[in-house]
Chain A
């Protein structure tokens, strides 16, 4: 292991602290802006030398960019796969930047600069991906931070911009504002009441889209849905954000309503199911990732319904991230086989729940 996560401001986990609005339902808010540097072919078409020059050009101006001044630069292209996976599991870099896809191995010049408020991926699908990640439902503060970084960086590095089309990106689905704002939301009530299909179909009609826990191409696990704007052109950043805020508020209301229905119509069944989930996490000796995610979803719902008290959302958030394979391998200090990981996962979850002074129902 070469990566020392303690070098990162707060280890890159501040977004887990459950300090944001509606933190029991909304795990996190992320806004990213796609930007390209004028004068180079886009990352996918660029040669190694061009990508390294993009990185050098960005590195040379970082000292003049206050949002990144306390940041740490990590050369993703020089890391072993386990470290790249670790950063991805922590939601600090995308799958593409980490080169985890067999079709898209890591590119030369792939890097990330992480500060306490914002992050900057270099040589992702676009030269620059500026992002802000926040705990809970915090679109306004995330946008403030990423917009500030955009202005500071854009004043030092020339971005590719077109008067009609806006910010120019490698994929036309990002052209215009280059903005993708997304909210990672936990919707077990809507899934259990089978209302989720209607809600998701409604999103699409509103020009929004949904994905799984890890964004594009990922599956839905643990009832977590990532809701984001589908289009980036033709509306201003504020209009796109306003729409997302309105729709997510509505989805939260629908989720709360579904939870009330569950308690009213099937109170003891739900209560039994959720305590069983807690019991499994508290005592199991081996847990696969999918199992852990499903039980954690149940316990998160129980905490939201106040069926279980004395267990913090922060602990649940940490369990979600730290029970992933690369995190387990990191804390064990060695690579783990799948069955070893299941044992380590159960041990980690057990200890974390035991340390949190007795959950009560």
Chain B
């Protein structure tokens, strides 16, 4: 995006202004923003969490107690950092320590205080783990070179077959 003012440099500052009856968006480069007296330390992050994740990115090591990969969906914490989305529910267990920190930063708290939930009793569930699901997981495990998990999944597929 080009600066609305000089039409030359890339816009890095994005302002929402309300003038009279209209809300306008103003996109400025650092130089023009400074000339207009706009604070330029605020840069729009790539996604909503990018700003929050930045400090964590500077620490290359996996947080104490966290797994290198989720053993259900094969996602890494790095995948989460780049997309802002977790791969599956099991990622919360795999990256528990790091996520607790992320949740604290986002919500100011990491402990759920709302409605509790008990999953339905197994006899009410109308599905069992299907072959297709295991095959999808197997493919992901192979792609991410998790051979131990892949072998385990392959065994389970054989049993079902």
Contacts and interface: CB of A to CB of B under 8 A. Distances in A.
B120 to A, nearest CB: 5
Interface in A163-193: 163-173, 175-177, 179, 188, 191-192
Contact of B73 (A45, A221, A233, A239): A45
A36 B73 CA distance: 14
A234 B100 CA distance: 12
B115 A165 contact: no
B129 interface: yes
A45 B87 contact: yes
Contact of A237 (B114, B126, B135): B114
B18 interface: yes
A165 B114 contact: no
Given A53-B133, A177-B112, A158 B87 contact: no
A287 to B, nearest CB: 16
Interface in B42-59: 48-49
A41 B113 contact: no
A231 to B, nearest CB: 4
Contact of B114 (A39, A156, A236): A236
Contacts of A234: 107-113
B125 interface: yes
Nearest to A45: B87
Interface string B117-161: 101100011110110110110011000000000000000000000
A155 B114 CA distance: 18
B106 A172 contact: yes
Contacts of A166: 112, 114
Among A46, A150, A160, A168, the most chain B Cβ lie within 10 Å of the Cβ of A168
Contact of A44 (B18, B83, B108, B111): B83
A57 B126 contact: yes
B119 to A, nearest CB: 4
Contact of A156 (B102, B108, B110, B120): B120
| Among A45, A172, A232, A294, residue most surrounded by chain B Cβ atoms (within 10 Å) | A172
A167 B86 CA distance: 13
B111 A164 contact: yes
A333 interface: no
Contacts, number: 166
Given A165-B103, A192-B21, A235 B114 contact: yes
B111 A232 contact: no
Contacts of B139: 47
Contacts of A307: none
A38 B78 CA distance: 23
A169 B110 CA distance: 14
Interface residues of A, number: 62
B88 A231 contact: no
B124 A155 contact: yes
Contacts of B111: 164-165, 233-234
Secondary structure of the B side of the interface? loop
A231 B108 contact: yes
B75 interface: yes
B27 to A, nearest CB: 13
B149 to A, nearest CB: 14
B88 A172 contact: no
A172 B126 contact: no
A125 B21 CA distance: 34
B100 to A, nearest CB: 8
Most buried by A among B48, B72, B117: B117
Interface string A68-109: 000000000000000000000000000000000000000000
A206 to B, nearest CB: 13
A214 to B, nearest CB: 14
A242 interface: no
A196 B130 CA distance: 54
A42 B102 CA distance: 19
B96 to A, nearest CB: 9
B85 A44 contact: yes
A50 B136 contact: yes
Contacts of A57: 126-127
B110 A233 contact: yes
A335 interface: no
A166 B107 CA distance: 13
B145 to A, nearest CB: 17
12 contacts: A42-B89, A44-B83, A162-B89, A162-B92, A164-B110, A171-B49, A172-B106, A175-B92, A188-B21, A234-B107, A235-B114, A294-B21
Interface of A: 36, 38-42, 44-47, 49-50, 53, 57, 60-61, 125, 150, 154-173, 175-177, 179, 188, 191-192, 194, 196-197, 219-221, 223, 231-237, 239, 294, 297
10 closest A-B pairs by beta carbon, nearest first, are: A234-B109, A166-B112, A160-B89, A233-B107, A177-B114, A158-B119, A45-B87, A41-B73, A161-B117, A220-B23
